[in-house]
Structure 1
């Protein structure tokens, strides 16, 4: 049995997939299996996967059922104690699994492990910023997920490794959520587990304006935050985390003219948990929000990402 099961769900990622798979095969720690589920791709993804001749690759095809269903299918086929998540358009540095293996040995009682994940777009690669006081490069800490993730999440779908028992306790991805499946999973993890986090960027996230999270405009297809409100009293950092996510959905609702949706999320927000930029945007007109969103997209294509979270 391999030490790690690497799970990759694929849907039309021909432009990135070869680099993704190659980054796993190039790992200095070689005790792993790869589970790839092709979720009904219509491009050349299948040919790319089959071009790799390595016995550690296990390939499965299914009719298109969505990212959550494909990820769950891959997880169900794993045989290892530790499950390493990886999106089909992201990639790892060669020492990623070696680093995780060392973290597992150093913190044997913990179940959730992650490293920093750099962000790459067409023009620029940027280092992530987290809401962790005095965090030093290459430092390792055992952290509360919520208060560490107000700016960027310390858990991502390409820089997180979970003990298999985590899924037995909290469940797998919710396939009904079109955009925000990851956040939903992270919340459930944060309610039960600490995160062993190493502030070294061993993973790279390829930012794409065409991704589901950036092209899903129907707020009914976003994560449902309301079931988690009941846990705020037990987790003091959860309320602010939920407020920031309500803020994001409220802004989307206002931009798309969904006044009812905006008011629904607006009333849930304690504005003391927002920074000045976020409070300004929350009270801006729909026209101004659309103009600012357009400017943000233009700057992102130039390698100048903007964020209301820092």
Structure 2
């Protein structure tokens, strides 16, 4: 039995999966298995995986059912006590697993571990920023998921390692959701577990390569209805979800979807938003679109603007 089981859901990542797997095989900590579930890829992804010869790679395929289904299938096949999530186009630094192993050893009473990430976009690489008070580079923190994720999430689908018992307790990915499956899982984890987080960049998250994450149109916006009962007794969760509602409300304006905007906006406690966010919610669609265009232009110049800081 391996110490880590690496969970990879694969769908049409022919150009990236080799580099992703090679970043795993290059790890300085070598006691792991790699479980790849091909979710009905129609490109050459299967051939690429099969061209890599390493007995630690366990390859499976299924009809296309979505990333959540493929991740759940991989999780069900894991033999290791610790499961390391990894998207099929992201990259680990060679000491990622070794660092996580050290965190596990030094924090034996905890079950969820994460590192900082760089976000690779078409306009350059951005270091992810977190809402952790007095945060310093390379320091280790035991954090509340919600309070530490107001700017960017401290858990991602490539920088998170959990003990097998976490999935036994909170469940795996909810395949009934059409969007926001990752956030839904992070919320369930955050309700029950603290996160051991090291502010050291060991993962490159390739946002620019993701057709789903980088799309401008989202017909199926997450509702967060499952957590209304918890919001009233968990202020951190309420603020975290309100910030997500803010993002969906702005997206609704960009898409000229007033029905969705009203639904998200009416559920937001404005006290959970900063002045910039409050201002944006009150602007007409034409202003939001102009500001969005300006933001994109600034990104091309290497200037990254955000309403979250």
Bin of the TM-score, shorter chain as denominator length: over 0.9
Residue 295 of structure 2 corresponds to 296
Cα shift at 1:216: 6.2
- Aligned partners of 2:170 and 2:189 also within 8 Å: yes
Residue 189 of structure 2 corresponds to 189
Are 1:84 and 2:76 counterparts?
no
Cα shift at 1:211: 2.8
Residue 221 of structure 2 corresponds to 222
Separation in 2, partners of 1:288, 1:67: 35
Cα shift at 1:18: 1.2
- Aligned partners of 1:122 and 1:303 also within 8 Å: no
Separation in 1, partners of 2:268, 2:60: 43
TM-score of the superposed pair, with normalisation by structure 2: 0.95
Residue 276 of structure 2 corresponds to 277
- Aligned partners of 1:120 and 1:126 also within 8 Å: yes
Residue 121 of structure 2 corresponds to 121
Cα separation, partners in 2 of 1:57 and 1:209, compared to 1, 3 Å: closer
Separation in 1, partners of 2:157, 2:251: 23
Cα shift at 1:242: 0.9
Cα shift at 1:298: 4.1
Q: Which moved more, 1:127-136 or 1:187-196?
A: 127-136
- Aligned partners of 1:179 and 1:216 also within 8 Å: no
Residue 245 of structure 1 corresponds to 244
Residue 175 of structure 1 corresponds to 175
Cα separation, partners in 2 of 1:207 and 1:300, compared to 1, 3 Å: farther
Residue 39 of structure 1 corresponds to 39
Q: Which runs of 5+ in 2 are unaligned?
A: none
Separation in 2, partners of 1:289, 1:12: 34
Cα separation, partners in 2 of 1:210 and 1:85, compared to 1, 3 Å: closer
Separation in 2, partners of 1:215, 1:296: 16
Q: CA offsets, 1:194-234, max 9 Å, x none? A: 00000101111012275313326345x23231221211243
- Aligned partners of 1:148 and 1:154 also within 8 Å: yes
Separation in 2, partners of 1:75, 1:174: 13
Residue 102 of structure 2 corresponds to 102
Separation in 1, partners of 2:243, 2:190: 16
Correspondences of 1:11-90 after superposition (within 5 Å):
11-90=11-90
Q: Which runs of 5+ in 1 are unaligned?
A: none
- Aligned partners of 2:137 and 2:200 also within 8 Å: yes
Residue 155 of structure 2 corresponds to 155
Separation in 2, partners of 1:68, 1:241: 22
- Aligned partners of 1:137 and 1:199 also within 8 Å: yes
Residue 254 of structure 1 corresponds to 253
Cα separation, partners in 2 of 1:302 and 1:16, compared to 1, 3 Å: farther
Q: CA offsets, 1:107-149, max 9 Å, x none? A: 1110100010111123422221110110111100111000000
Separation in 2, partners of 1:158, 1:38: 17
Q: Which moved more, 1:52-61 or 1:169-178?
A: 169-178
Q: CA RMSD in A?
A: 1.5
Number of residue equivalences = 309
Are 1:166 and 2:199 counterparts?
no
Cα separation, partners in 2 of 1:176 and 1:295, compared to 1, 3 Å: farther
Correspondences of 1:206-221 after superposition (within 5 Å):
206-208=206-208, 210-215=210-215, 217-219=217-219, 221=220
- Aligned partners of 2:132 and 2:148 also within 8 Å: yes
Cα separation, partners in 2 of 1:211 and 1:301, compared to 1, 3 Å: farther
